[in-house]
Amino acid sequence: MIDVLVIGAGAAGLFAAAAFARAGLEVEVWEKRSDRAMLSRAIGVHAPALAALDDVGAAEPLLAEAVMVRRGHARIAPVIGTGVRPRHVGTVSFDGVSRRFPFVATLPQHRTEAILEDTARGAGAPAVRYGVEVVGVAPDPRGVTVRGEHSDRAGSSREQQRSRETTQTRARFVVVADGPDSPARRRLGIRTSGRAYRDRYLMGDVADPTRDGDDAVVTLTPDGVVESFPLPGDVRRFVAHTPVLLPDAGPDVLARLVATRTGVVLDPATATMVSAFGVRRSIAERFAVGSRVAVVGDAAHEISPIGGQGMNLGWLDVAALVPVVVDLLRGDGDGDGLARWSRERRTAAVSAARQAEFNMALSAPGSAAGVRARGLVLARAVAGTKGARLARVYAMGGD
């Protein structure tokens, strides 16, 4: 029987593998995909998450590659179109959010996950078992029996289905981290509650033509927000609100949206990624099953990426979980540790979801007068010591 089985090798699952291995436990990771995803997706890493990553030895290699964003600028463009010139309304500094990490680090998610996988291996965790789909999770008072189907190639053709082999293991504890649709969570009978929002976005990574350097920028316009964040290699992530989902849009569409709202001219030929997405809020009714299973990351809570807290929230789930599980497996816990962890992390997820809703409302389309009014709100919010408070909210509290 192994100590901990992690289901899912995304950002939360790989961090869990590193953290539990670092704590001296025997860890195994199963992942349904045939290999690690090479997508950019989440890019922002906040100070509390950096502290957690540092505890397992992942912060230093991450920061060696990342851009350190120390300031964010708020701008408004009440009138958009050819020749638009957004007006600056305020700047937020992250200097005061943390003594150790006074910034938000930005790095494409696939690089973050690669660093976490290397960190887990360095801590003694075996290689991720890719291509294993969980088909059964049965907890009992002493542990959890998990069944999976393995194939060398992921897919659903008849030939591939025939090649699948069943695997089974016993673990003293299981961490479910298999994403927002989480088959493992559903097999455990954990329901979720939430809603789908009308907000839609188009994002892309392109060569940075701005003069904003390592600063982040948020521009409010009548057609919706445009956000931009620096990435390594003189690349910049642009995120634009769209009236409908644009799944087939290319970099030329993103370039037009950015140009008419901000005046920034992008070169579509330099785009390395363009993706359209909608926004859902979904939170599991509970994050634990008995005393042997915990649900973390997107499997436990899916919130708007606007504000960049989702990936970080998953890491903080795990950081709080590790000492609880270590005590449980050593017989030192008080019996209520996992239930207490579940309540506290669910409360944190609800709070983050509310903050994400506020961020989306502030950045939604509206009239020119409405954009000017929101500009005044932002100007007041970043003025004086209020700016420091806003920075701490965005950076998930700092330290």
Report, as an integer, the average pLDDT of 345-350.
Answer: 96
Q: Please, what are the domains in the chain?
A: 2-60+107-193+281-357 (3.50.50.60), 70-102+197-279+365-394 (3.30.9.10)
Least confident piece of the model among 26-30, 61-65, 356-360: 356-360
Q: What is the pLDDT of residue 154?
A: 45
How crowded is the C-beta side of 361, counted as CA atoms within 13 Å? 7
Q: What are the contacts of 326-335 at 24+ separation with CB within 8 A? A: 326/23, 326/25, 328/173, 328/291, 329/3, 329/25, 329/172, 329/173, 335/291
SS3 44: strand
Predicted local distance difference test score (pLDDT) of residue 155: 47
Answer whether 266's CB lies under 8 Å from 202's CB. Answer: no
For residue range 192-220, list pLDDT tens digits in order: 999 988 999 999 999 999 999 999 999 99
Distance CA 182, CA 135 (A): 12
The span from the CA of 278 to the CA of 194, in Å, is 14
Residues 117-167: tens digit of each pLDDT: 999 999 999 999 999 999 999 999 999 999 999 865 444 454 544 456 899
Average pLDDT in the 73-80 region? 96
pLDDT of the residue at 373: 95
pLDDT at 332: 82
Bigger pLDDT: 279 vs 37: 279
φ, ψ for residue 42, nearest 5 deg = -65, 140
User: Taking Cα atoms as reference points, which of 221, 243, 228 lies closest to residue 85?
Assistant: 221
CA 73 – CA 211 distance, rounded (Å):
12
Report residue 370 as tokens: 């409405």
* Average pLDDT of the segment spanning 337-357: 93
Residue 124 backbone class (left: φ over 0; alpha: ψ -120 to 50; beta: rest):
left
N-terminal to C-terminal alpha carbon distance within the chain: 38
Q: How many other CB atoms are there within 10 angstroms of residue 79's CB atom?
A: 11
Concatenated DSSP letters for 268-328?
Answer: GGG-SEEEEEEEEEEEES-SEETTTEEE-GGGTEE--STTS-HHHHHHHHHHHHHHHHHHH
Of 287, 291, 86, 255, nearest to 184 by C-alpha is 287
Continuous H helices in the chain? 11-22, 47-55, 59-65, 109-122, 158-163, 183-187, 251-262, 310-330, 337-362, 368-382, 385-394
**Which tokens belong to 175?**
């961490």
Mean pLDDT on 69-90: 95
Report pLDDT for 128.
96
Report the residue count for the chain: 399
Lowest mean pLDDT, pick from 61-65, 314-318, 357-361: 357-361
User: For residue 163, what pLDDT is reported?
Assistant: 54
Would you say residue 40 has pLDDT above 80?
Answer: no
Please tell me the predicted confidence (pLDDT) of residue 399. 66
* 3-class SS string, 221-251: CCCCCEEEEEECCCEEEEEEEECCCCCCCCH
SS3 call for 372: helix
DSSP strand pairing (2-7 vs 165-176): parallel
Least trusted range by pLDDT, from 77-91, 97-111, 383-397? 383-397
Model confidence at 298, in pLDDT bands (50, 70, 90)? Answer: very high
Cβ(226)–Cβ(262) under 8 Å?
Answer: yes
Measured CA to CA, the distance from residue 315 to residue 312 in angstroms comes to: 5
